[in-house]
Amino acid sequence: TGRGLEARMTPCLVPTTSPLGQLEGGTNMVVLEGDSVGQIVLRGAGAGEGPTASAVMADVLDIARGNSMPVFGIPANELAAPEPAAASVPAAYYLRMALQDKPGALAKIATVLGDAGISIDRMRQYGHTDPTAPVLIVTHKTARDALDKALEAMEGTGVLASQPVAIRIEDV
């Protein structure tokens, strides 16, 4: 793409209506997207514990016998690293945090997000009896680096009762 290559393997939230959200059992899936081809979904049965263990042991035996081949057919020191995408592909994020239950705490968090150019899509604060208030926030799409800066700035507000959790929401 014009943005470069982006590859990611990380926990994320997906809509239950997406192909990834409908996976069950030992099924594996890879979703590829390209400007010209759109979305391609590859889906199939996973190998399972027996076949996987057999493949791992075969690799260990090959290495022990000195029969190892470079992973991509070329020694790693001869491979060129792919150029990363110019900027991360924007995504919405789910944020979960516990705030000190005092006036203005939520306003400070909203200000930090706004100062970072991050807009709140929705927010929920649950009832509580502790001196901390659990807060859930879903952002509009934003770059990960902007979110990381906001999360770092939140630490200086004095209202966090615990480290925030941020999980990417994939729109697939």
Task: Please identify which residue in the block is written with the tokens 């924007």.
Answer: 90
- pLDDT for 157 equals 96
Q: Which residue has the higher pLDDT, 15 or 118?
A: 118
Confidence of residue 85 (pLDDT cuts 50, 70, 90): low
DSSP string, the chain: -TT-B-------B--TTSTGGG--TTEEEEEEEETTTEEEEEEEE---HHHHHHHHHHHHHHHHTT----TTSS-GGGPPPPPBPSSPPPBEEEEEEEEESSTTHHHHHHHHHHHTT--EEEEEE---SSSEEEEEEEEPSB-HHHHHHHHHHHGGGS-BSS--EEEEE---
Query: For residue 146, what are the contacts with CB-CB under 8 A and spacing of at least 6?
Result: 116, 117, 118
Among 127, 132, 130, 137, which residue's Cα sits nearest to residue 159? 132
pLDDT, average across residues 12-34: 85
Break the chain into its structural domains and give their ranges: 92-169
Q: Which residue has the higher pLDDT, 137 or 2?
A: 137
pLDDT, average across residues 48-76: 80
User: CATH says 92-169 is which class?
Assistant: alpha beta
What is the torsional sign of CA 6, 12, 18, 20?
A: positive
Whole-angstrom Cα distance, residue 14 to residue 172? 7
Check whether 86 has a pLDDT greater than 70: no
- pLDDT for 1 equals 47
Q: Which residue has the higher pLDDT, 53 or 101?
A: 101
pTM: 0.75
Check whether 11 has a pLDDT greater than 90: no
